[in-house]
């Protein structure tokens, strides 16, 4: 008898079904409804007593996705689940991970506290905005690396004179990891922001003359940073520039920005649902990566083999 059950939140079912398929199980039955005033109601339609329960739900806006996940955790805990693991492919509110000015919240820590208070025993996620966010949790965190998806794809392109680039100082470690595994050079775009989603200035540090450049970031929101960085890189003599970002938030005028940019392509994963298709956007799935991680967790195996950086 298998003592594991997989359940999905409403807006991550498209990905949860693929994860369950790779794992070899059907998603469990759960009812998600709303009262007439919009209040969320959750009910498991099968027993979870004594089971290891995996709840799959990204916490992207609006906040209903997070609230639904919290209710699912509480319901599973009150139904005597043995162990509750929240599988959050995209961990929302991660960009607010420190006090960068007075009188602002640390939202990532708040969400960590909420998950803990609801009764979660473990978190499985992918490419947090900052790795140190793992320290906000008082239970184990399995932090999967999107590089396991992107590196094989980049190798399949057989790009000559490849160089990786970080669109800002904060992403240098991530881009350096890619450059190290591919044994190529790294350049940096140094940007200064006026405010969120608005760049004041940017300059390139490094030589990209004649190179095929790959920008690396954890997420793409409006696309402003990537588009500006790609234009600067091409102006400096690069042969081509493409971007890889794990989480395709793509809000506001992001699609227009991407389509009107000099980017050859934007490669993202399906941690978030794609709002609109574009010939410049390629989506790779993280379903198999998460399914393998869940399998190893159940078998008490190390997940180290899933990391290539």
Binding residues for ATP: 37-39, 95-96
Catalytic residue among 18, 180, 191, 236: 191
Nearest in space to 220 (alpha carbons), one of 134, 278, 141: 278
DSSP for 175-207, please give it: HHHHHHHHT-EEEEEEEEEEETTEEEEEEEES-
Which class for 188: exposed (0-12), middle (13-18), buried (19 or more C-beta within 10 A)? buried
- CA geometry: angle 92, 138, 95, nearest 5 deg: 25
- Residues contacting 94, CB < 8 A, separation 6+: 108, 128, 129, 130, 133
Q: List, as own/partner pairs, every contact residues 75-78 make where C-beta atoms lie below 8 angstroms and the sequence separation is at least 24, other chains included.
A: 75/42, 75/43, 75/44, 76/7, 76/44, 76/48, 76/119, 77/118, 77/119
Task: Assess whether 191 carries a catalytic annotation.
Answer: yes
Q: Which residues are identified as catalytic?
A: 191
């Amino acid at each position: 008898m298998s003592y594991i059950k997989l359940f999905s939140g409403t807006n991550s079912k498209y990905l949860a079904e693929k994860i369950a398929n790779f794992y070899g199980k059907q998603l469990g039955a759960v009812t998600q409804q709303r009262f007439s005033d919009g209040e969320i109601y959750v009910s498991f339609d099968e027993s979870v007593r004594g089971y290891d329960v995996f709840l799959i739900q990204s916490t992207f806006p609006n906040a209903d996705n997070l609230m639904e996940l919290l209710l699912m955790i509480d319901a599973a805990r009150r139904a005597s689940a043995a162990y509750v693991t929240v599988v959050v492919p995209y961990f929302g509110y991660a960009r607010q991970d420190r006090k960068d000015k007075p009188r602002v919240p640390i939202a990532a820590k708040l969400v960590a506290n909420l998950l803990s208070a609801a009764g979660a025993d473990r978190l499985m996620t992918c490419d947090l905005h900052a790795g140190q966010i793992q320290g906000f949790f008082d239970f184990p965190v399995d932090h999967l690396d999107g590089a396991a998806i992107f590196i094989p794809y980049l190798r399949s392109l057989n790009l000559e004179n490849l160089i990786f680039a970080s669109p800002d100082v904060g992403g240098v470690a991530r881009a350096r990891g890619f450059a190290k595994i591919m044994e190529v050079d790294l350049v940096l775009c140094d940007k200064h922001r006026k405010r969120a989603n608005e760049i004041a200035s940017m300059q390139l540090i490094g030589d990209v003359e004649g190179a095929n450049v790959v920008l690396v970031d954890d997420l793409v929101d409006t696309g402003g940073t990537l588009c500006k960085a790609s234009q600067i890189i091409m102006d400096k003599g690069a042969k081509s520039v493409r971007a890889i970002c794990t989480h395709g938030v793509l809000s506001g005028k992001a699609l227009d920005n991407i389509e009107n940019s000099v980017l050859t392509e934007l490669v993202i994963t399906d941690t978030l649902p794609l709002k609109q298709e574009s010939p410049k956007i390629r989506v790779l799935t993280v379903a198999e990566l998460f399914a393998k991680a869940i399998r190893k967790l159940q078998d008490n195996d190390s997940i180290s083999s899933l990391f290539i950086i």
